[in-house]
Amino acid sequence: MSKLPKNVKIVEVSPRDGLQNEKQLIDLSTKLSLIERLGNSGIKNIEVTGFVSPKWIPQLADSSELCKNLIRKKNINYSALTPNIKGMELAIAGNIKEVAVFTAASESFTKKNINCTIKESLQRFKPVIELAKQHGIIVRGYVSCVLGCPYEGQVDTHKVAEVTEQLFKLGCYEVSLGDTIGTGTPSAAKNMLLACMNIAPLEKLALHFHNTYGQALANIYACLELGANIIDASVAGLGGCPYAKGASGNIATEDVVYMLNGMNIDTGIDFKKLVETGQWISQKLQTENNSQVGKALI
Ligand code: HMG
Ligand code: MG
């Protein structure tokens, strides 16, 4: 039986996941304007940057500068990635109140992305999360490659659930399940989510689906039927992971909100302003708008 939710929390990841993968360097004022426009569209959770090594991700080298110049609205949660203590210290200095640690269900991807094993990554997160707690900062966890790995192919759902469980044990309040390369299909997405639901309630599990194979919306719908109610998305479908070759953007926020609106599932987002934001950033970056809905409405 379908357990469709009444409300969905949208986590907008375009300023981080979207922009980390752009070839051209994007100026700070464009980033700040994107975040402001997203906030004005009614989005309450925005992942604004990553405190990662600038050698690894040059696009986010301005993370501290961005935090200094960010005009924060009271009711918006601005979050950032922190892979290690150094990142956490920078996040504290940047007055960030929610951070995210990130690992994967695949060893090869973890090595390529954060230069350690899964076990080492979890050990590394322990002091990061402790430090966050001392500063009243909440921590989200990411598991990448939950429906396939660019290096290892198929990924066992038990491994996904195991890593997810470890992240909760370390103190994450929510874990986001990443189909990093977008190869998942609806039944696989459902089975993966069911495996994670054995260890955590749905209110703590987010869907982070990239749309590389055009399956993300179908996968989200399949998981909504189980009651999933947290969705990561990126305006204009911006994004991808530099350590997953060929990985394209996340599902476009416009496409998710259009579908949810049609199903009477509330997100609190102003759809018109959201679509305008997608068109604005696509024009600014001179890239194709990867939202089907955004394209249809131009
Ligand atoms: P490393 O090279 O093993 O680390 O990188 P290190 O500790 O040896 O440091 C190397 C250098 O980086 C040093 O500088 C450090 O100071 C510096 P040097 O002495 O050579 O001048 N450094 C830092 N600088 C700024 N901020 C930091 C930091 N840490 C070290 N936090 C590390 C290890 C984890 C740092 C590196 O691998 C890294 O930054 N990786 C990030 C990769 C990344 O951001 N990937 C994309 C995000 S994940 C993703 O997209 C997936 C997701 O969307 C979900 C999904 O779709 O599946 C979340
Ligand atoms: Mg991602």
Cα three-residue angle 285-288-291, rounded to 5 degrees: 110
| Cα 275 from Cα 252, distance rounded (Å) | 10
Q: Name the closest-CA residue to atom 46, ligand 1.
A: 241
Supply the residues annotated as catalytic: 241
- Pocket around ligand 1 at a 6 A CB cut-off: 17, 20, 50-57, 83-84, 86-87, 102, 113-115, 142, 144, 178, 180, 208, 210, 241, 243
Site to probe by mutation for ligand 1, drawn from 12, 20, 22, 52 as the one with most ligand atoms within 8 Å of Cβ, is 52
| 102 CA to centre of ligand 1 in angstroms | 11
| 216 CA to centre of ligand 1 in angstroms | 27
Q: Which ligand is nearest to the CA of 241?
A: 1
Instruction: Output the average pLDDT for the chain.
Output: 96
Confidence at 1, pLDDT banded by 50, 70, 90: low
249-295: pLDDT as tens digits: 999 999 999 999 999 999 999 999 999 999 999 999 999 999 999 99
pLDDT of residue 12: 98
Percentage, residues of the chain above pLDDT 90: 93
Q: Which ligand is nearest to the CA of 80?
A: 1
Secondary-structure breakdown of the chain: helix, strand, coil percentages, each rounded to the nearest 5: 45, 15, 35
33-76: pLDDT as tens digits: 999 999 999 999 999 999 999 999 999 999 999 999 999 999 99
More reliable by pLDDT, 193 or 298: 193
13-26: pLDDT as tens digits: 999 999 998 888 89
Enumerate the H helices of the chain as residue ranges: 28-40, 63-69, 85-93, 107-114, 118-134, 157-170, 186-197, 216-224, 253-262, 271-285, 292-297
The interaxial angle of helices 157-170 and 118-134, nearest 10 deg, is 30
Q: How far is CA 246 from the centre of its chain?
A: 18
Q: Name the closest-CA residue to atom 15, ligand 1.
A: 53
| Cα 255 from Cα 106, distance rounded (Å) | 29
- The answer, yes or no, to whether residue 89 has pLDDT greater than 70, is yes
- The answer, yes or no, to whether residue 166 has pLDDT greater than 70, is yes
| Cα 48 from Cα 226, distance rounded (Å) | 29
pLDDT of residue 9: 98
Q: Is 116 exposed, middle or buried (0-12, 13-18, 19+ CB in 10 A)?
A: middle
98-128: pLDDT as tens digits: 999 999 999 999 999 999 999 999 999 999 9
Percentage, residues of the chain above pLDDT 70: 100
219-252: pLDDT as tens digits: 999 999 999 999 999 999 998 777 777 778 999 9
Q: Pick the atom of ligand 1 nearest to 83's CA.
A: 34
pLDDT of residue 49: 98
The token pair at 226 is 């189980």
- The answer, yes or no, to whether residue 202 has pLDDT greater than 90, is yes
